[in-house]
A and B are shown apart, each in its own frame.
Chain A
Amino acid sequence: MKEISFITRRLLYGIVLVVGVTFISFLLMVYFGPDKTFELIGKNPTSQQIAEVRQSLGYDRPFLLRYVDYLFELGTLDLGLSDTSGEPVESVLARSLPISIALVVPGFILGNLLGLGFALFAAWNRGRWPDKLIMGASVMGMSISFLVIIIVLQVFLCTPYGLNIFPVRGWQVHDFSSYLHYVSVPTLALVLVTLGYNTRFYRAVMVEEIARDHIRTLRAFGASSFEILFRHVLKNSLIPVLTRVMFSVPFVLISGSLLLESFFGIPGIGLVTFNAITSGDQPILKAVVGLTGVLFVMALTLNDLLYGVVDPRVESS
């Protein structure tokens, strides 16, 4: 009984969150958002023509009505047509999302795996020089702007000022070697920008884990480092690690790809969003914000539910 009420409460909370997310994004992106009227009217327009365009964009309808429509659009995934290209928003997303996933997944995985590796190594040698070296490097990594990393990599790897071995822009991927050709530099950029943060976070988790009594005992009894690290430390810290990984997915996908794709001219969801921001394409903007918000809330709710079922203590903390 208690479990059912817990699940219902979590689900209800998820719905309340979705309402909030969609409302805020709608209010900001649509109601106060960009106005495309004057870009879509011809030269020397009459006031009637202006009114016609506003009407066809739906700007003249009452706020609440438009909001309810928006909820329906999100619910039915019938997201309307892009104001810029006239393409259905779903097909824009269906075309661009896989590209973004292909773009950020290698960097995301590498960034986390390397982060974990360095973190384990540093935590195991806590206080000694490998730890200091790794932590120092992490702080340096955290102090470099994403933008700077991208510019430097582009100059050194993609132009005649440097090695000039990778393409400066584009995404003409048709097989694995062309994929590697296009994905390498963005991957490197993503790894460099996330590695510092990941290493620090994971190290903190590991340090705590290694300090636990049973690990100390194992160490005292002379278990091999490898066994302790991988069979015990890593296994026990899996939950915070996975939580971090899971929650960073939507943000890496949108925020990470936003810069990478607009810089490298890659037609993924980030570039689509960037173009929608700079051209004021509301149907795309509200779909992207709304959907990421909803997905995030769903992940959050699912996460809470799983924890709640697995570990009843979570509820009270």
Chain B
Amino acid sequence: MHSVWQRLKSDHYGMGGLLVVALFALATLTVWTGLFGQGWAEVSGNSWESTSAAHWFGTNLLGQDIFQRTLFGAATAFEVGLVVTGFSTLLGAILGGLSGWYSKGWVDEIILWIKGVLDSIPFYLFAAAVAFALQGRPWAMHLAMIVTFWTTTARIVRGEVIRIRQQEFIEAARAIGLSQLTILFRHVLPNTVHILLVQATIVFVAAIKTEVILSFLGLGIQDGVSWGLMLAESSQEVLAGHFGNFIAASAALFLLLMGFNLLADALQDATDTRGAMT
């Protein structure tokens, strides 16, 4: 892990990405700790005020402060991203690990079957269906994403576990009589952490992007505000000449996604030993 960090540090783009992500994470923390962004729901001005000292990004139709909403939107993005990434990575690691460890066995077959089924349903339709099934419950969107995003992680982990399984130290562990699951969870899966890390950043990006689309389709978050909701609002406003919501939300979205994408690339390069040799 230490060498990964060393390699990452020498990647300027990656560090730039990390910096952007860190800034957004900081903004999120200020929202979560109640410092800023608490007035996102409050009407604090008139409709369509332009930028001013009181309203840095102006106001929306209702007279709410767009800056506060953008800031709160960052917190929403992180909340969605962290929850989805956390659970889908965990699920992907466990199921992918089991699947790889018992490859060709019935456990593997069942997991592959579930994966195949989930991969065969167009994503937005699946998300819509989950949103229907859990209508009115705040975690419907998160669940829809977790249930679909773990499959890619699982596929990658499975391949890696199959590779690691054939290595000597595993043979050794078997020889001293450790149980199958102990070997898998204590000795095999920890060796996939670098892959999980890269995959997690990719899932994070996907989760944020998906939230935008689902919120636009009306299947997104319930209470609160997100960049997706701001964009949905703006899609009605830009043609009437009001660009505040649109510029704020799309710029914030672009910056954060760009940061994550750069970070993901750098992490991939830093953890890919093959890439480092050539």
Residues in A lying within 8 Å of B, measured CB to CB: 13, 16-17, 20-21, 24-25, 27-29, 32-34, 139-140, 142-148, 151, 154-155, 159, 161, 168, 211, 250-251, 254-255, 258-259, 263, 273-274, 277-278, 285, 288-289, 292-293, 296-297, 300
Q: Is the CB of A29 within 8 A of B129?
A: yes
Q: Is the CB of A211 within 8 A of B278?
A: yes
Q: Is the CB of A289 within 8 A of B129?
A: yes
Known A-B contacts A139-B261, A146-B213, A151-B235; the reply to A17 vs B113 at CB < 8 A is yes
Q: Is the CB of B122 within 8 A of A145?
A: no
Q: Is the CB of B257 within 8 A of A142?
A: yes
Q: CA A34 – CA B118 in complex, angstroms?
A: 21
Give chain B residues whose Cβ lies under 8 Å from the Cβ of A292.
120-122, 125
Known A-B contacts A17-B116, A32-B133, A34-B132; the reply to A25 vs B121 at CB < 8 A is yes
Question: Which B residues, 136 to 175, have Cβ-Cβ distances below 8 Å to chain A?
Answer: none
Give chain B residues whose Cβ lies under 8 Å from the Cβ of A16.
113
**Complex A-B: 13 CB contacts under 8 Å:** A13-B113, A21-B121, A25-B129, A27-B133, A32-B132, A139-B262, A139-B265, A140-B258, A151-B238, A161-B239, A211-B278, A277-B219, A292-B120
Interface size class of B (residues with CB under 8 A): 35 or more
Q: Is the CB of A143 within 8 A of B254?
A: yes
Q: CA A25 – CA B250 in complex, angstroms?
A: 33
| In the complex, B231 has a CB within 8 A of chain A | yes
Which residue of the partner chain A has the closest CB to B246? A151
Give chain B residues whose Cβ lies under 8 Å from the Cβ of A254.
122, 124-125
- A16-B113, A250-B122, A300-B116 given. 9 additional CB < 8 A pairs? A17-B117, A20-B116, A21-B117, A32-B132, A143-B254, A147-B212, A147-B228, A155-B238, A293-B120
Q: Is the CB of A28 within 8 A of B130?
A: yes
Our pick among B120, B123, B258 for the contact of A297 (Cβ within 8 Å) is B120
Please provide the 9 A-B residue pairs with the shortest distance between their CB atoms, ordered closest to farther: A32-B133, A28-B129, A20-B117, A143-B257, A143-B258, A254-B122, A148-B250, A296-B120, A293-B120
Question: Would you give the shortest CB distance from A204 to chain B, in whole angstroms?
Answer: 10
Give chain A residues whose Cβ lies under 8 Å from the Cβ of B218.
278
Which residue of the partner chain B has the closest CB to A26? B129
Q: CA A20 – CA B265 in complex, angstroms?
A: 35
Known A-B contacts A142-B261, A144-B254; the reply to A251 vs B120 at CB < 8 A is no
Our pick among A140, A263, A293 for the contact of B121 (Cβ within 8 Å) is A293
Q: CA A29 – CA B134 in complex, angstroms?
A: 11
Which residue of the partner chain A has the closest CB to B264? A139
Question: Would you give the shortest CB distance from B43 to chain A, in whole angstroms?
Answer: 25
Give chain A residues whose Cβ lies under 8 Å from the Cβ of B120.
17, 21, 292-293, 296-297, 300
